[in-house]
Structure 1
Amino acid sequence: MQQNQLTGINVELVKLLCQRAKITCNISLLPWRRAFDMAQHNVYSGVFSTSRNAEREALFSWVGPIASEPGYLFRLKGRTEVNPANLDEAKNYILAVSRGDRLESYFQSKGFRYGSNMMGFSTRTEPIPLFFAHKVDLLSGSKRSLRSWMLEHNMPADTAEPLFLLADIGAHYLALNPQFPADVALALQRELDIIHQNGELTAILQRYP
């Protein structure tokens, strides 16, 4: 979010898809769980960036993959006492997750539990003040995302430092209501395939260092 305008790689990408497919799209920033529920119950709704897995497959009509980057676990720079080398060791610290987000289910599948080593928030950036205050030990996301979040909070881009790569997270998708018009979903997918093939996605990525 910059100057009350939604920004980001996949925001720009989805806007471009809508433009190319000649449809009107209204993109809003909502708490993840609310956005996820809306996409399931409103025929003309969708949610991104969403992981596609067996549990969710039948819940949506899928367009993708959209832009995805490797995910990492991060600590606050200088907090050398927070030093897990893997997910099992990370369970000894407090990890922030966005409720309903793909990473919530990912970490739960790895044995993290609310009330023990995981705290839930409405958005992925909500816990950042607690991260600065040492109330939350670990954040997760891509390196690009964490740099952006730090800058948005007027902190140096390297304030959050990566500890290790998170394996097997999966790609990002635009998840549409299962009753969303099939011809429009196909048009969006067709335009996305073109953007992948002609190098436009690479150009978008380069605008977000």
Structure 2
Amino acid sequence: MGKFLFLFLVTKVAFLGAQTIDDLRFWTEEFPPYNFVENGVLKGKSTDFLAKVFQKLHAHQTISDVQVLPWARAYQLLLKTPDAVLFTMTKTPERTPLFYWVGPISRSNNVLIALKNRKLNLAGSLANSSLSFGAVRDDAGAQLLTSLGVPPSRLDLTTRADQSLKMLVAGRIDVFAFDETVAQWWMKRLGYPIADFQTVRVLARGEHYFALNKQTPLALVDLFRRAVNEVLAEKKSPQKQ
């Protein structure tokens, strides 16, 4: 029954908008260890996951067809481009109605990071704080800060996480809002000891997804979701001996 439904969905998408999975555009950003470019090759946990989805769907396109863009540009393009997919995206209440969501494929932990020697305490209202905040434009961290009342005048936005970390180390911002795992990856890449930093507040715990433009045909969304769910199921099932 499952295989029949899968074949039915493959046939159905031919009548609605994008014809096959190969008609979808896939975009991503530098968001290690989930997706990042190394020696000209796109790698990472989410990238490997998508490669398995392509195999499930017998796609002609490959990971080399995925376009790597600055996050803010990719995010804005996704809002207005039919048949487009962006990964890896954190699902938040503000973003939920804007896209179709397929996943989750991993967990997210958006936090505020400061230099440990600053000994900052951010238990109170961020809206009334005199600190300067750094974030990546249109990233979940930036959107969470805005939702918590941080005014634009105290929010310094960049295009990449490594830029914000450099500003933090240089004392140009007091705290950086970002995914904790990704921030620590960048610390290592930049040669910064992780022990020099401290998570001073958890903004939100959530999950990462593939996000699809709302004008993508539902039959194609369902096809993609089914393939993603099959890969997820294989990851959870014990390996055969």
TM-score range, shorter chain: 0.7 to 0.9
Pair 166,55 (structure 1): closer, same or farther in 2 beyond 3 Å: closer
Matched to 2:149, the amino acid is G
Report the TM-score when normalising by structure 2: 0.70
Pair 131,113 (structure 1): closer, same or farther in 2 beyond 3 Å: same
Pair 8,200 (structure 1): closer, same or farther in 2 beyond 3 Å: farther
> Is 1:128 aligned with 2:128?
no
- Match for residue 73 of structure 1 among 112, 133, 136: 112
Could you say which structure has the larger radius of gyration?
2
How do residues 1-209 of structure 1 correspond to structure 2 at under 5 angstroms?
1=36, 2-23=38-59, 24=61, 26-53=65-92, 55-80=94-119, 83-86=120-123, 88=125, 91-115=129-153, 117-167=154-204, 169-199=205-235
Pair 72,3 (structure 1): closer, same or farther in 2 beyond 3 Å: same
Q: Could you list the runs of 5+ residues in structure 1 that have no partner in the other structure?
A: 202-209
Q: What's the offset of the Cα at 1:28?
A: 2.8
Pair 56,69 (structure 1): closer, same or farther in 2 beyond 3 Å: closer
The share of aligned pairs that are identical, in percent, is 22
2: CA distance, partners of 1:57 / 1:147: 27
Pair 55,133 (structure 1): closer, same or farther in 2 beyond 3 Å: closer
Greater shift after overlay, 103-112 or 54-63? Answer: 54-63
Alignment match, 2:10: none
Q: Which has more strand, going by share of residues?
A: 2
Greater shift after overlay, 179-188 or 141-150? Answer: 179-188
SS at match of 1:126: helix
Matched to 1:153, the amino acid is L
1: CA distance, partners of 2:174 / 2:39: 29
State the aligned residue count.
Answer: 199
1: CA distance, partners of 2:45 / 2:212: 19
Alignment deviations for residues 63-82 of structure 1 (CA, whole Å, 9 cap, x no partner): 122212322211123333xx
Alignment match, 2:24: none
2: CA distance, partners of 1:12 / 1:126: 26
Alignment deviations for residues 113-144 of structure 1 (CA, whole Å, 9 cap, x no partner): 111x2111122332122111111221233432
| 2:103/2:210 contact within 8 Å kept | yes
1: CA distance, partners of 2:47 / 2:150: 30
Report the TM-score when normalising by structure 1: 0.79
Greater shift after overlay, 136-145 or 55-64? Answer: 55-64
Alignment match, 1:207: none
Alignment match, 2:23: none
